[in-house]
Structure 1
Amino acid sequence: MPFPFFGDDKSTVARLLATLPQTGRLAWIGQRPARRQPLLSVPEAEVLTDAHLAGDHARPKAGGKRQITLIQAEHLPAVAGFLGLPVPLDPARLRRNLVVSGLNLLALKNRQIQIGDEVLLDITGECHPCSRMEEELGPGGYNAMRGHGGLTAHIARGGTIRVGDAVQVVTPELAAE
């Protein structure tokens, strides 16, 4: 008899991948006012449809897959631990726009999420670390971030987001509301 989660039935895997009932929370919002400047932590921000986070220096192209970046709060202590840095690690150092807690971000690839009542993001892929992590976190920063860099997203619908907002996967029922 096949193991229940690894049977021949591909619909079982599809069903498991589709099951994500948890609701996460927006734990932090960061804006980069200028290139190579520190991120500023803000309590709320305007997200511009098919553009960028208002107040952020980055101006990705319309239709782009990397208009906003997200990282999982639960990965911050892991990155700090790999480098022997004090916990909590300041999310601004990781140079992502949004920190989400309580929801496995990697399970969101190629899905749509809603933040608060207005904002819809199409999760487009992984946000791999860059060489700036060595500058920001010290020697080994790049490797400490591998597998913990978060995700990129296209902004399908903008609006205002606030720290504490719910973050949830968009299901057909939610999309109809």
Structure 2
Amino acid sequence: MPFPFFGDDKSTIARLLGTLPQQGRLEWIGLRPGRREPLQAVLTAEAETDRHLQGDHARPKPGGKRQVTLIQQEHLGAVAGYLGLSEPVAPARLRRNLVVSGLNLLALKNRRIRIGEQVVLEITGECHPCSRMEEELGPGGYNAMRGHGGLTARILTGGTLTVGDVVRVIATDE
């Protein structure tokens, strides 16, 4: 009898894609009050369905794929390590809206997550670093962020986000 995770049928890949930690935690929320202004850390934020986070200057069009940005908390230390820093990089410096721990966000591309009881996000793609990372983190900042820039998401169901909320992967059959 073959080992259940090996084989070449598509159901094996589907099983593998479904085996990831199903729960994480919202660790930090940041809003950008204006273009090129520092992010402001907040304890709660309102996510508007198919729009943006209230108080964030970004005004994506309805249906846009970059209504909110996320990064893994675990990557803050990795980026610092690439830069030779002894402490994890502060989330506000990386200009992402939400910091999540306990989930491999890259494994969630094209999946949906629920944050707290109300908010549902659809992970739409990678949030690649920009040249601002050189300004913010110094020489090598752009390359330190490559592969660690986080993800973009669309807000499918709005509501209140609160630091400490549980982040759950929504099963594909829900």
Q: TM-score range by the shorter chain?
A: over 0.9
CA-to-partner distance for each residue in 1:22-62, whole Å, 9 max, x for gaps? 31000000000000000000001000100001000000111
- For 2:114, the equivalent position in structure 1 comes to 114
CA-to-partner distance for each residue in 1:61-110, whole Å, 9 max, x for gaps? 11000000000000000000100123132100000000000011011100
Compute the TM-score of the two structures, normalised by the length of structure 1: 0.93
Q: Number of residues paired by the alignment?
A: 174
CA drift at 1:158: 0.4
CA drift at 1:172: 5.6
- Contact kept in structure 2, 1:125 and 1:151, CA below 8 Å: yes
User: In 2 relative to 1, CA 172–5 (structure 1 residues): closer, same or farther, beyond 3 Å?
Assistant: closer
- For 1:34, the equivalent position in structure 2 comes to 34
What secondary structure is seen at the aligned counterpart in 2 of 1:13?
A: helix
- Contact kept in structure 2, 1:24 and 1:101, CA below 8 Å: yes
CA drift at 1:18: 1.7
- For 1:5, the equivalent position in structure 2 comes to 5
Q: Which deviates the most, 6-15 or 39-48?
A: 6-15
Q: Where do residues 143-162 of structure 1 align in structure 2 (5 Å cutoff)?
A: 143-162=143-162
- For 1:71, the equivalent position in structure 2 comes to 71
Q: Where do residues 2-151 of structure 1 align in structure 2 (5 Å cutoff)?
A: 5-151=5-151
In structure 2, what is the Cα distance between the partners aligned to 1:122 and 1:22? 15
Compute the TM-score of the two structures, normalised by the length of structure 2: 0.95
Structure 1 segments (4+ residues) deviating >4 Å: 1-4
CA drift at 1:9: 1.8
Unaligned runs of 5+ in 1: none
What secondary structure is seen at the aligned counterpart in 1 of 2:147?
A: coil
User: In 2 relative to 1, CA 54–133 (structure 1 residues): closer, same or farther, beyond 3 Å?
Assistant: same
Unaligned runs of 5+ in 2: none
- Contact kept in structure 2, 1:2 and 1:8, CA below 8 Å: no
Q: Which deviates the most, 20-29 or 89-98?
A: 20-29
What secondary structure is seen at the aligned counterpart in 2 of 1:30?
A: strand
Alpha-carbon RMSD across the aligned residues, in angstroms, is: 1.6
Q: Which deviates the most, 133-142 or 81-90?
A: 81-90
CA drift at 1:10: 1.9
CA drift at 1:160: 0.2
Given residue 8 of structure 1, which amino acid in structure 2 is its aligned partner?
D
- Contact kept in structure 2, 1:51 and 1:60, CA below 8 Å: yes
